[in-house]
A and B are shown apart, each in its own frame.
Chain A
Amino acid sequence: MAILVGEQTRVLCQGITGRQGSFHVQRAIDKGTRVVAGVVPGKGGHTHLGVPVFDSVAEAVAATQANASMVFVPPPAAADAIVESIQANMAVITCVTERIPMIDMVRVKRALRHSQTKLIGPNSIGVFTPGECRMGVMPLDIATPGCIGLMSRAGTLSYEAIAQTTAQGLGQSTCVGIGADIIRGIDFVDCLKLFADDDKTRGVVMLGEVGGGAEEEAAQYLKENPYPKPVVAYIAGQFAPPGRRMGHAGAIVMPGSGTARAKINRLMSAGVHIADSPMTIGSTMAEVLI
C-alpha cells in the first residue's frame, strides 16, 4: 500500500470551501483520491464539489468514516483545526498552511503526545501515493506509481526530484513533504521506519536542507539500525551564510550546527549516497539500484 495513505484512505478537508481548498480537492478527486467530507464551521449541511460539508470533524467522521484530514485553513485558525482532527483520532493529518505561529505549534505538539495521529507538516506540500491518494498540493502529472519513497523538507525542490525519478523510469511509492517549519509533525526518521517496512519501496530519497537537526537524527538512526534499502540524499544550502533564515522558518545555520557540509558528512558516514547536484538525485538513485 506504500506508506501513510493509499486507496483505503478516506479523506476529509478542513477549509474545503476556500480558494486553495477547493482547487486542490477538485484535482485530488479528479485523480481518484477518495474525498468523503469537508469541514467548515457554519457551513454544515451544504455540499461542495459534490462532497458533503460538516460543521465539525467529529460530525464528519461519524457520518463518513473519514480517517485522514487535510487542513487548508489560514494561519490564525490552523492550529485549532489540527487539534480538532487529532482529537477525532485521524490517522493522518496534512497541513499545507504556511506561517502558523510557533507557540500554536507547541500546543499542537502537546496534543499529539499520546495520540496515534501522524501529522505531516505544517508548511508542507502534503503526502502523495501516485495513483491512489493525494493529500496536499503536489502536482499530479509529474508523478507515476513506482518504487521510490521520497521525503522532503522542501516544496518545489521535491517536484524536481519527483520529475527526475519519473524520468529514470523508477516512479514513486509515496512522497512525503515533512514541512519546512521548525516545529512539525513526523520527521525523516519516522518516514525511514515506514519506508523500511513497505514492500513497494525499493529506495528512499531524502531532500534535506540547512538548519535544524532532522538530517543528523536520520544519520544517527541509519548508523544504529541496518537499513534494508539504499538512501540517496541531497542537502540544499551549501553556500548558506550563518545566522540568516533562508526563506524556510527552519532553514537557518546556527553557530556550530546545521551546516549542509556537517549534515552531508554525517549522512555519508551512515552509508547514505549523496547527490552533489540537485539535478543528479534521480540518476544517483538509478545507479545505486542497479
Chain B
Amino acid sequence: MNIHEYQAKKLLAQFGAPVSKGEPVLALADIDKAIAALPGPVYVVKSQIHAGGRGKGKFKELGQDAKGGVRVSFSADEAKANAEEMFGKTLVTQQTGPAGKQVNRLYIEDGADIETELYLSILVDRETSQVSFVASTEGGMDIEAVAHDTPEKIHTIGIDALTGITADDVAKLNTAFELTGDAAKDGETLFPILYNAFVESDMSLLEINPLVTLKDGHLKVLDAKVSFDGNAMFRHPEIAELRDETEEDEKEIEASRHDLAYIALDGDIGCMVNGAGLAMATMDIIKLYGAEPANFLDVGGGATTEKVTAAFKIITSDPNVKGILVNIFGGIMRCDVIAEGVVQAIKEVGLEVPLVVRLEGTKVKEGKDIINNSGLNVIAADDLDDAAQKIVKAVKG
C-alpha cells in the first residue's frame, strides 16, 4: 500500500525525523490557508500522486513549456498561482504511463537551503532476508541509472534483526554519505529513527530522495516515498486509513474488497482461476493459442460462492471481455463451490459472451453436475489445453 509524500513526512516527523514545515491542499479553497500557515518567502508546491518523476513531469492540459509537477515559488502570490494552475490537472511522468494521473492533492512546503543531495532507502533485501539501508551520495537522481552507471557509488548496509541498528551501522552510513560535523551527528539520531519507523510501521519501502544537507550543516528529509506491507496492516489501522483509493483502478479496489487478486490487462479473454501460479499459467496458454488475456484473477484458496460471484461480476464489467475462461484445480477449494458461484453470478448479471469452464480436483463431479444441470450455455472442457483452445476458438471464431 502506498501513501502520499505529505502523509509519509507526517509519519516520519512523528518518529522524530527532521522534515520541512508543510501544508497539504485537498481542495482549491485550501490554498490560501496553506500558504498563510507557512513562513515563506520560498514555497515549494508539490503534486501529490503515487508516482515518481514529478519534477520532470508535464501536465497534459498545459503546454510543453509549462513547468513540471514540483514548483519552487519565490513569493506567496507565485505559490498561489502555481497551486491553482496545478490543482486538478493530469500529470504525466516517467512512472505514470501516457494516461497520467490527476493531481487531486498538493503539498506546499517551506523552501530549504540545500548544500548537497543524498539518496537513502530502506527495504527488505531478498537475498540476505535482512532490513537494509541503501545509501548513495548521488541524491536527487534516478537511482536505477546510478546503480547501472556507477555501481560503486551505491552502498548497501544490512541490519541484524537481533540487535537492531548499531553504532557501527550508523558509522558505516555516515561514511557512505561522506557526512562530517553536525550532519554526521544528525545522522546518529536520524538513521535509527528511520530504521525504527520502517520496522515499527511495517514499511516495505522507505525512500528518501533526496536526503539533504543544508547550508547550516544539518540533515533534512526533503522527499519521502513510503510503501507499506499490506499483510501487516491488521496491526496498523491508523495507517490503513491513509489509503487513497482515487489512485487505484476501480475494478482492482472492488476485487481487493472481496479479497481477490485482480489485475486488469489489455486482452479480450477474461480469466478466473484458483491460485496465482495456475492463473499465470492459464494466461500463458491463452497466449500460446494466439489470444490475449483481459485480466489476471486469482480467487484464492478459500473462495466462497459470494466471492466467486463478485469475481465473475468484475470480469464481466470489463467491456473488452469477449469470452471467459474459468479454470479451477480444486485442492482446498471445492469445485462445487466454484460451480455454484458461477451459476449464481450468471443468474444475477447475465452472460453475453462465451464461457468455458474447466473443473478438476476436489468435488469435481458435483461441480460438473451443477454446471450441466443449470441449463446455462456453458462450454465444458476436459483439461487446461482443451479449455484454452475452446475459448480462443469461441472468441476468434
Task: Name the CB-closest residue of A to B386.
Answer: A279
> A102-B204, A139-B362, A278-B384 are known contacts. Are A180 and B277 too (CB-CB below 8 A)?
yes
B61 at the interface (CB under 8 A from A): no
> CB-CB < 8 A to A157: which residues of B?
275, 277-278, 280-281, 329
Report the nearest B residue to A250, measured CB to CB: B126
Q: A89-117 CB contact bits vs B (8 Å, 1 = yes)? A: 00000000011111111110110000000
Contact A156–B331 (Cβ < 8 Å): yes
What CA separation (Å) do A160 and B265 show in the bound complex? 25
Given contacts A156-B331, A160-B281, A213-B126, A180 and B288 within 8 Å (CB-CB):
no
Whether A75 lies near B234 (C-beta < 8 A) is yes
Neighbour of A278 across the interface among B162, B281, B292, B293, CB < 8 A:
B281
B343 at the A/B interface (Cβ < 8 Å)? no
B55 within 8 A of A: no
Asked if residues A279 and B278 are in contact (CB atoms below 8 Å), the reply is no
A76 touches B235 (CB 8 A): yes
Q: Which residue on A lies nearest to B161, using beta carbons?
A: A110
Interface residue? B223 (CB, 8 A): no
Using CB atoms, name the residue of chain A closest to B274.
Answer: A156
B183-226 with Cβ < 8 A to chain A: 199, 202, 204
Does B284 lie within 8 Å of A277, measured CB to CB? yes
Contact A236 B284 (CB under 8 A): yes
- Of all chain A residues, the one with the shortest Cβ separation from B265 is A241
CB-CB under 8 A for A246 and B332, given A234-B281, A236-B281: no
The chain B residue with its CB closest to the CB of A137 is B332
| Interchain CA distance A32-B156 in the complex, whole Å | 49
Q: Count contacts on A: residues with CB < 8 A to the other chain.
A: 58
A107 and B281: CB pair below 8 A? no
B107-161 at interface with A (beta carbon < 8 Å): 124, 126-127, 129-131, 144, 160-161
> B129 to chain A: which residues have CB within 8 Å?
105-106, 109-110, 183
Complex: chain B residue closest to A207, CB-CB: B277
Q: B229: CB under 8 A from chain A?
A: yes
B290 within 8 A of partner (CB): no
Q: Which of A1-9, A53-61, A147-155, A221-229 contacts B (4 or more CB under 8 A)?
A: A147-155
The interface on chain B, measured as residues whose beta carbon lies within 8 A of the other chain's beta carbons, has a size of 52
Q: How far is the CA of A277 from the CA of B284 in the complex (A)?
A: 7
How many whole Å from B146's CB to the nearest CB in chain A? 13
| Residues from 220 to 265 in B contacting A, C-beta threshold 8 Å | 229, 231-232, 234-235, 261, 263, 265
Q: How far is the CA of A42 from the CA of B329 in the complex (A)?
A: 37
Query: Is A279 within 8 A of B202, CB to CB?
Result: no
Name the A residues within 8 Å of B275 (CB-CB).
154-157
CB contact under 8 A between A238 and B287, given known A157-B281, A279-B385: yes
A171 vs chain B, min Cβ distance (A): 18
Query: By the criterion CB–CB under 8 Å, are A101 and B229 in contact?
Result: yes
A153 to B281, CA, bound (A): 13
Q: Is the CB of B232 within 8 A of A213?
A: no
Cβ–Cβ < 8 Å partners of B130 in chain A: 106, 109
> Are B231 and A100 in contact (CB-based, < 8 A)?
yes
Cα of A245 to Cα of B279 in the assembled complex, Å: 13
Q: Smallest CB-CB separation from A276: which chain B residue?
A: B288
Bound-state CA distance A113–B365 (Å) is 47
Chain A contacts for B292, CB-based, 8 A: 239
CB contacts (< 8 Å) of B41 on chain A: these are none
Partner of A236, one of B231, B277, B293, B385: B277
Known: A236-B284, A256-B144. A101 touches B277 (CB 8 A): no
Indicate whether B370 reaches chain A with its CB closer than 8 angstroms.
no
Q: Which of B161, B232, B235, B280 contacts A107 (CB 8 A)?
A: B161
Q: Is the CB of B124 within 8 A of A103?
A: yes
From known contacts A103-B232, A277-B385, infer whether A239 and B277 are also in contact, taking CB-CB under 8 Å: no
How many whole Å from B93's CB to the nearest CB in chain A?
14
**A99, chain B: closest CB distance, angstroms:** 4
Taking A99-B231, A142-B361, A153-B277 as given, write out 10 further A-B residue pairs in contact, using a Cβ cutoff of 8 Å, ordered by the A residue number: A75-B234, A103-B229, A125-B331, A156-B275, A157-B329, A213-B127, A239-B293, A241-B263, A246-B276, A247-B279
Which residues of A pack against B, CB within 8 Å?
A: 20, 75-76, 98-107, 109-110, 125, 137-139, 142, 152-160, 163, 180, 182-183, 207, 209-210, 212-213, 234, 236-241, 244-249, 251, 255-256, 276-279
17 A-B pairs in the complex with CB atoms less than 8 angstroms apart: A101-B232, A102-B124, A102-B232, A103-B229, A107-B161, A125-B331, A137-B332, A139-B331, A156-B277, A160-B384, A180-B277, A182-B124, A207-B277, A239-B287, A240-B280, A246-B279, A248-B277
